[in-house]
Amino acid sequence: MVSVGIVGGTGYTGVELLRLLLRHPQVTVRTLTSRTEAGKRVADMFPSLRGHTDLEFSDLDLEQLKQCDVVFFATPHGVAMQHAEQLVAANTKVIDLAADFRLQDLEQFEKWYGLQHSCPQILKDSAYGLTELNREKIKQASVIGNPGCYPTTVQLGLAPLLQSKNNLIQPSSIIIDAKSGVSGAGRKASLGMIYSENADNFKAYGVAGHRHHPEIVEALENISGQKGVFDSIIFVPHLVPMIRGMLSTIYVDLTDEGANTDLQSLYEHFYKDEKFVDVMPANSSPETRSVRGANELRIALYKPQPNKLIVLSVQDNLVKGAAGQAVQNMNLMFNFAEDAGLTGIGLLP
């Protein structure tokens, strides 16, 4: 059995992570921390977990965390990097669900997150945790930077095009029109997140610049092996009045070679062995509710014009977009079956 610690157990991502790990056949959750709820029973705060755990929240105790095989950080940006070096020295693996280990470009990290990175060498040796595209490095890593939710939909939506040996798209033409449920903003008291501000409302945000933009650019450069060609992509996120779910509509211009390629077959072949990526039949319309609660991302393709492609990519932002992908990464790090603890089916209605 693998011993697990979770730092930051009261947020949506933290409790989703706990929900998944409690049913994992090879995991024991040893400690769950909270700055504000230490001593409180987890099931008292989250009634859905009654009968499934007797855990209590505790203060962050680094010595206790060092006794774990792996520690997940479901915390604000900047927390994991304060503790990663000591945990790695104690042979404890680290999976960070915030941004501390996502960007290798320190200048971009400091610009977008307003933080100076406290362990650049650990960052350099870490692995970016987009499971389907980075398995071998994840298996060998001690520290994982779990991808952002929007970047997950974009990378998996575009990877077959970018890893093709053929020149299929014009990178500078990419437009990403993305929507997320309000849980993507976290579990916190904020005027912009209250019911009366979001119900019957739909809005764009971060139009002038969003911190997932540099992550998307860096990731697409790594996938394609091309530098500097994605700087002009457009990424606009939107807030949708629902709790869970994320849909990215990605518009790309095809080259002549791309226009003459069977892109449906390309995607189906690329993801044919993936448990958690579903390429739907051509001209399908994937819905966010079809993946609610499941660690699955669904993709559909449209060609409205000979040289235009639309990629639709949907996921549950708290599962495949966060906690589920983190568990996938843990499974790889400990040589478990990749779907261990992750076989739940999406909830309908």
Catalytic choice (15, 94, 149, 309)? 149
Q: pTM of this prediction?
A: 0.95
Beta strand residue intervals within the chain, DSSP E: 2-7, 27-33, 57-58, 70-73, 93-96, 127-128, 143-145, 175-180, 203-204, 234-239, 246-253, 277-279, 297-305, 308-315
CA 158 to chain centre: 15
For residues 349 and 334, give the distance between their C-alpha atoms in angstroms, rounded to a whole number. 35
Task: Taking residues 93-106, report their average pLDDT.
Answer: 97
Q: Is the model's pLDDT at 4 over the cut of 90?
A: yes
| Per-residue pLDDT tens over the stretch 123-166 | 999 999 999 999 999 999 999 999 999 999 999 999 999 998 88
- In angstroms and rounded to an integer, the radius of gyration of the C-alpha atoms of the chain is 20
Instruction: Report strand pairing: 234-239 vs 246-253.
Output: unpaired
- Of the candidates 317, 318, 339, 319, the residue with the CA atom closest to the CA atom of residue 328: 339
For residues 146 and 97, give the distance between their C-alpha atoms in angstroms, rounded to a whole number. 5
- Residues 20, 342 contacting (CB under 8 angstroms): yes
- Residues 301, 263 contacting (CB under 8 angstroms): yes
**Residues making up the chain, counted from first to last:** 349
68 is catalytic: no
| Per-residue pLDDT tens over the stretch 35-87 | 888 889 999 999 999 999 999 999 999 999 999 999 999 999 999 999 999 99
Those residues whose C-beta lies under 8 Å from the C-beta of residue 92, and which sit 6 or more positions away, are 65, 66, 68, 69, 70, 71
**Percent of the chain, pLDDT > 90?**
88
Q: What is the mean pLDDT of the chain?
A: 94
- Residues 310, 249 contacting (CB under 8 angstroms): yes
pLDDT score of 182: 87
Which domains, ranges and CATH numbers included, belong to the chain? 2-125 (3.40.50.720), 150-317 (3.30.360.10)
- Amino acid sitting at position 272: K
Q: Is the model's pLDDT at 194 over the cut of 80?
A: no
Task: Taking residues 172-196, report their average pLDDT.
Answer: 81
